[in-house]
């Protein structure tokens, strides 16, 4: 049986890092189990033995954390994504590629970061799947979004493919590739998982932090960006985007935020051996 480590258990506590005048904080909401052979159907049993076996939980699933990234700057605050919401779906009721799908912790995480939901001015979605917009659009039976002041932003392509409940509301905003959406935060079109999937790049304190959304779901993909993903709407675009992202991630002073990487959501790529490897963030990164 797999030993419980940060590589195969969900994030349960917020964690922050400071880059110049920006503070970024991971706010966990819940998690989802991914069936490795169904999620990545080109993999074989042998691909999940050896080092990758450490990524599997005792039931044989990859552990994908779900949550939001809080970005604070000079008293202002935005989120990238908004968790899944207070829902708890057993494995028999989720998609066949998934096991259990659970959310609910985000408000507590936000409170512990000392930020009120009403003070979030912007939520920028990587894409419009329910584990990324949950607290924004469907916070619970009959409840309004707790993010009462936030503008909801996603790429125009993403809105076009997914009519949201509040289409036409002034709170909905389409964003363009390369647009600066918040001080220091720029949108980067990364199609594949969805047509309008967008990564967000924070430039601060002499570093870049790339919040890459669902371009990668598990560190096992870093060495094999060519593995197509069953849940990618555009699987071949997904391969090209993973290669393009890897080329950026190996550049100096580049960190990454990987929202689905179990309890190792902040990190960088180490490629000294020639194979890209996820190196979880440590406080002394430079």
Contact 262, 65 (CB under 8 A): yes
Residue nearest to Zn ion (CB): 214
Q: Which stretch binds Zn ion (CB under 5 A): 160-168, 207-215, 218-226, 273-281?
A: 207-215
Q: Considering beta carbons, is residue 103 or 184 the nearer one to Zn ion?
A: 103
Q: Which stretch in 47-55, 127-135, 172-180, 265-273 sits in contact with Zn ion by CB under 5 A?
A: 127-135
Q: Which residues contact 54 (CB under 8 A, 6 or more apart)?
A: 2, 3, 5, 7, 8
Among the listed ranges 47-55, 112-120, 169-177, 206-214, the one in contact with Zn ion (CB under 5 A) is: 206-214
Q: Which is nearer to Zn ion, 57 or 214 (CB)?
A: 214
For position 214 contacting Zn ion by CB under 5 A, the verdict is yes
Rounded to whole angstroms, the Cα distance separating 134 from 117 reads 14
Task: Report d(CA 65, CA 219) in Å as an integer.
Answer: 13
Q: How far is the CB of 129 from Zn ion (least distance, A)?
A: 5
| DSSP strands (E only) in the chain | 15-19, 22-34, 62-73, 76-80, 88-89, 98-102, 122-124, 151-155, 172-175, 180-182, 185-189, 198-204, 207-211, 254-257, 266-270, 277-280
Counting residues that bind Zn ion (by CB under 5 A) gives 2
Closest to Zn ion by CB, 29 or 72: 29
Which is closer to Zn ion, CB of 131 or CB of 157?
131
Q: Which is nearer to Zn ion, 193 or 268 (CB)?
A: 193
Instruction: Give the footprint of Zn ion on this chain (CB under 5 A).
Output: 131, 214
């Amino acid at each position: 049986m797999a030993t419980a480590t940060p590589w195969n258990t969900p994030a349960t506590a917020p964690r922050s890092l400071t880059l110049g005048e920006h503070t970024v904080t991971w706010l966990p909401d819940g998690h989802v189990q991914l069936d490795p052979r169904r999620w990545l159907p080109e993999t074989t049993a042998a691909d999940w033995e050896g080092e990758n076996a450490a990524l599997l939980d005792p039931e044989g699933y990859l552990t994908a954390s779900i949550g939001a990234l809080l970005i604070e700057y000079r008293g202002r605050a935005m989120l990238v994504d908004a968790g899944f919401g207070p829902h708890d779906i057993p494995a028999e009721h989720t998609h066949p590629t998934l096991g259990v799908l659970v959310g609910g912790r985000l408000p507590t995480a936000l409170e512990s970061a000392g930020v009120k939901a009403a003070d979030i001015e912007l939520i920028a979605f990587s894409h419009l799947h329910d584990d990324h917009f949950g607290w924004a659009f469907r916070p619970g039976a009959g409840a309004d979004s707790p993010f009462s002041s936030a503008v909801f932003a996603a790429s125009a392509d993403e809105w076009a493919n997914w009519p949201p409940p509040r289409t036409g509301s002034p709170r909905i905003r389409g964003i363009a590739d390369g647009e600066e959406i918040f001080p220091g935060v720029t949108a980067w079109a990364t199609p594949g998982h969805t047509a309008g999937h967008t990564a967000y790049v924070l430039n601060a304190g002499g570093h870049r932090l790339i919040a890459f959304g669902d371009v990668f779901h598990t560190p096992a993909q870093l060495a094999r960006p060519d593995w197509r993903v069953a849940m990618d709407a555009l699987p071949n675009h997904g391969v090209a985007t993973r290669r393009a992202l890897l080329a950026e991630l190996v550049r100096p002073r580049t960190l990454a935020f990987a929202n689905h990487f179990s309890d190792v959501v902040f990190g960088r790529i180490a490629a000294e051996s020639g194979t890209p490897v996820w190196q979880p963030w440590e406080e002394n990164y430079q």
